[in-house]
Amino acid sequence: MRAFPLILALLTSAALSGCDQLGIESAQAVAERREAEGRALGGACRHAGRAIEDCYTLNPKADKAAIFAGWREMNDYMAENKLTEVPPQVVNPRHAKLLNPAPAETTER
């Protein structure tokens, strides 16, 4: 009866070791994906001529350090290759509201 917890633990760890095959991402895979997505977002923001602060505002759930790293890498690449920004052609209404909030109404007396 003492061996039961040990056997249960071994079976559980063996079952969980195949989680990647079941489509369940490991914590490391999730972290690597979030890092890559943040870098891609930062690079895209810089290429579009957006300020880093605007990029943070438009992507609140993304990792700020990864966004900055991608933005900086793209900035260096663009400077080295003498590339200019490519402004976005399609404006997302949600993003327009985030970046340009309506001014507060003032009442004069």
| Residue-range definition of the domain harbouring residue 51 | 25-81
Residue 33 maps to a domain? yes
Overall number of domains in the chain: 1
Residue 106's region, left for phi above 0, alpha for psi from -120 to 50, else beta, is beta
What's the pLDDT at 17?
61
Q: What is the pLDDT of residues 2-44, one digit of tens each?
A: 666 667 676 676 666 655 566 777 889 899 999 999 999 999 9
Residue 96 maps to a domain? no
Exposure string of 10-25, with b = 16+ CB inside 10 Å and e = fewer, is eeeeeeeeeeeeeeee
Residue 5 maps to a domain? no
Residue 103 maps to a domain? no
Residue 35 maps to a domain? yes
Residue 92 maps to a domain? no
Residue 51 maps to a domain? yes
Residue 109 maps to a domain? no
Contact 53, 23 (CB under 8 A): no
